[in-house]
A and B are shown apart, each in its own frame.
Chain A
């Protein structure tokens, strides 16, 4: 019962480097999300995918891109990392229907950009 798996768990990047955060879910959920968590700001939505084949911007999409590779996998890419992207990143998944059971979260990726 893996749920939502994120890799890597920790990463240090230099300014300007690129990287991809991986996320996979095994619950056959339709929708997937990427959030960032910063102290005092709660969780802010970066991008989401309501269903396979679709992606949309959330509240804070600048500097990020996403790919919904298939129903299971949703990756987040930082093309040119900046110190402002230092954060904890969470992937989540859910059913996409009224009355859905809320989100299932991964354990997060702690990213530091120096």
Chain B
């Protein structure tokens, strides 16, 4: 069974600094990978997804992620963080072809300092 590891529980970044959130997955075949963001008291919103093709994918709100098969990683990046990016971020991997059931990591909480 596949799994997702987000090794950082909390990360604090200064406003305007760059951001990288780590995600490692375990899956035998080519995975379907996702990043979601959850603002306080809200549901999860899809930031970006990777299925195949170009390993660098662009998402909403200026986020991007790079799929690295050799490292089993799908790290999320943003060049310049804004205070409104403070939220919890979840990486997820799709399980199987056809019907898709997602397995989520435990999340990374991003704090943005002035």
Instruction: List residues of A whose CB falls within 8 A of some B CB.
Output: 4, 31, 33, 35, 40-43, 45, 48, 50-51, 58, 90, 92, 94, 96-108
Contact = CB atoms under 8 A, between A and B. Distances in A.
Nearest to A45: B101
B114 interface: no
Q: Is the interface of A mostly helix, strand, loop or mixed?
A: loop
A107 B101 CA distance: 19
Contacts of B100: 31, 94, 96-98, 100
B107 interface: yes
B43 A105 contact: yes
A79 to B, nearest CB: 25
Contacts of A50: 99
Contacts of A45: 101
Contacts of B94: 100
Given A41-B106, A42-B107, A102-B49, A90 B44 contact: yes
A48 B90 contact: no
Nearest to A106: B43
B32 A99 contact: yes
A40 B88 CA distance: 11
